Structure 1
Amino acid sequence: MTVEAPATYTLTVGEVAAASGVATSAVRFYERHGVVHAERTSGDQRRFDDSAACRIRVAKVAQRVGLTVREIADIFDELPRDPQPQDWGRVAETLIREAEERTAALRAHLDAMRSGSRLCEL
């Protein structure tokens, strides 16, 4: 008897890559680091759920903010299996807070560099 991936895990690596705007190697990278999750078919092919492309698109935004892939995976660990709009809203709040904190820290570093002090003493 052949066992297939659950019905919710139907998307191939190529489909997720196309929907998220990344290469297939990037999909596998994000899977390896826990940003997306796949089930394996009886033929050992990866199958992703409908949230995989969204997770990758959000991860790309988070990386531009400066978060590491590990930090992103930790944030996504809080998401339920089938994320709803309010769940993504909480992720957005977290990313906004991180972006604001990192922006404030960068501004403080810029101010310090403009202060006239020797750089090695900052």
Structure 2
Amino acid sequence: MTMGEWAVGRVAKRAGVKVSTLHFYESKGLIFSYRNAGNQRRYSPEVLRRISVIKAAQKLGVTLEEIREAFSSLPDNRTPTQHDWEQLSKQWNHQLQQRIHYLERLRDSLTGCIGCGCLSMKNCPLYNEDDKLAAEGSGPVLLNRKRESE
């Protein structure tokens, strides 16, 4: 094995993922391997950067499909450079801010009514026959409302 060839086990250990995770990422087009003369999977060392970007993006709540789309937008589907990561992270920053605001609303509403329409809480503002918030949509209407400051 040359310095530019990494076996699947070495990549998995170094990246902190299971071998099955590497196979899954590969099946989704997120990482790539090639076969050596013995038909064994081999990876270039730069695959570690791709895996790191995948794991970081997932922690932000970015889906694998969104990550795949971002990777495929790079020239020749290359491994993201530092500049690429800066651009990708800017794209995902807006999504992260939206999630943060949603989680803040959830935290602030957790012990009270969230506007789901269940009519089961005595202090629920929907506890009436008219169910006025139904006109605003289904599900947790109050939780999904945007704050005045947003």
TM-score category (smaller protein): 0.7 to 0.9
- Letter matched to residue 52 of structure 2: R
TM-score by length of 2: 0.62
1:53 deviates by 1.3
CA distance in 2, matches of 1:72, 1:31: 13
CA distance in 1, matches of 2:94, 2:113: 30
Partner of 1:43: 38
Flag the structure with larger Rg: 2
Partner of 1:86: 83
Pick closer, same or farther for the CA change 1:109–1:34 going to 2, 3 Å: same
CA distance in 2, matches of 1:37, 1:103: 33
Structure 1 range deviating more: 23-32 or 54-63: 54-63
- Letter matched to residue 74 of structure 1: E
Q: Say whether 1:60 aligns with 2:44.
A: no
Question: Tell me, which stretches of 5 or more residues in structure 1 are unaligned?
Answer: 1-6
1:15 deviates by 1.9
Q: Is the 8 A contact 2:58 2:64 kept in 1?
A: yes
Partner of 1:4: none
TM-score by length of 1: 0.74
Higher RCO (CA < 8 A, seq sep 6+): 1
What do you get for the CA RMSD once the two structures are aligned?
Answer: 2.7
Aligned length: 116
Q: Is the 8 A contact 1:113 1:119 kept in 2?
A: no
Higher fraction of helix: 1
Partner of 2:28: 33
Partner of 2:100: 103
- Letter matched to residue 60 of structure 1: K
1:36 deviates by 0.7
The percentage of counterpart residues that share the same residue type is 31
Partner of 1:3: none
